[in-house]
Amino acid sequence: MKNLFHFSIFLLLVFGFLACDKCEIPENTQSGNIIHNVVVRENSTALTNFDTVLVNDDATNIVYDSIDVSFDGGLNFVPIDFSSYSLMAMKTRTNCSATFDRTVVIDDDNQTANYSIRINECPTCVNTIVTDNWVLVEKIPDTYTVTFDILP
């Protein structure tokens, strides 16, 4: 009788796991003027004092503890050349299983730059995480109007 009870519990557990709702969300994407295949490395975990940021020069980068980048998948990191690139971030708070569609559009005619993110979340995950969403883009002139949007 004990064996039958244990076997019944075992079957309930197995079928319980098999019946769980699986959540499939798309992979992260990057589009527009984002430089692809770049790994951005934060050298500090104390970057909690921003919601959005545009880093356009070395002096501002020092405030964020000299973030650097890798163009070879994370093997070698180098300082950012701010004469050629700008660094953007938009902090998001999501559930623990989320992906991001990140897009930066630089419009030279209207002298604007927009960083937008669409968040794809798995509703079965209940823990909250914070993601800084750093991206490297071609240099944005200081005279441009920069906006940040979270899309529905």
Examine the pLDDT at 78 and tell me if it is beyond 80. yes
Dist. CA 50–CA 106, nearest whole Å: 22
DSSP E strands, the chain: 29-32, 39-41, 52-55, 68-70, 78-79, 85-90, 92-95, 98-107, 112-121, 128-131, 135-138, 145-151
Q: What is the DSSP letter of 110?
A: T
pLDDT band at 18 (very low <50, low <70, confident <90, very high): very low
Q: What is the pLDDT of residue 49?
A: 62
Place of tokens 């180098």: 78
Q: What is the pLDDT of residue 4?
A: 44
pLDDT band at 93 (very low <50, low <70, confident <90, very high): very high
- Residues 133-147, mean pLDDT to the nearest whole number: 96
- Residues 89-115, mean pLDDT to the nearest whole number: 96
Question: Between residues 125 and 7, which one has the greater pLDDT?
Answer: 125
Per cent of the chain over pLDDT 90 is: 58
pLDDT band at 59 (very low <50, low <70, confident <90, very high): confident
Q: What is the pLDDT of residue 110?
A: 98
